[in-house]
Amino acid sequence: MRNMKGKKVKEFGSVVVVEEGKFEKAFRQFKKNIEESGLLMDIRERQAYIKPTTKRKMAKSAAKKRWKKKLAQQSMPDRLY
């Protein structure tokens, strides 16, 4: 990236160039880049401290939910007549 005088400028973080005034398209691309980099999840995790015991409980309950969902998908559907 270059500034007005043609000198090269260092880029920090995610950079998206807005072409021809298409801000919406550039904003969508920026959000996609942030989501793929995992930055958003990292920020959400650091918003508040969660005790290790609470983390374990949350992980265990999430595993139970995944297991129940898997079993529900494998079960036979009810007869529809």
Number of domains in the chain: 1
**Tokens matching residue 35:** 């989501």
Average pLDDT along the chain, 81 residues, taken 10 residues at a time: 62 76 88 88 89 96 96 80 64
Q: Report CA dihedral (70, 74, 78, 81) to the nearest 10 degrees.
A: 130
Within-domain flag for 56: yes
Q: Is the full-model pTM beyond 0.85?
A: no
Question: What is d(CA 29, CA 25) in angstroms, rounded to the nearest whole number?
Answer: 6
Question: What is d(CA 20, CA 77) in angstroms, rounded to the nearest whole number?
Answer: 53
Residue holding tokens 């260092």? 10
Within-domain flag for 55: yes
Within-domain flag for 3: no
Predicted confidence at residue 62, as pLDDT, reads 97
Range of the domain at 37: 23-72
Residue holding tokens 């072409």? 19
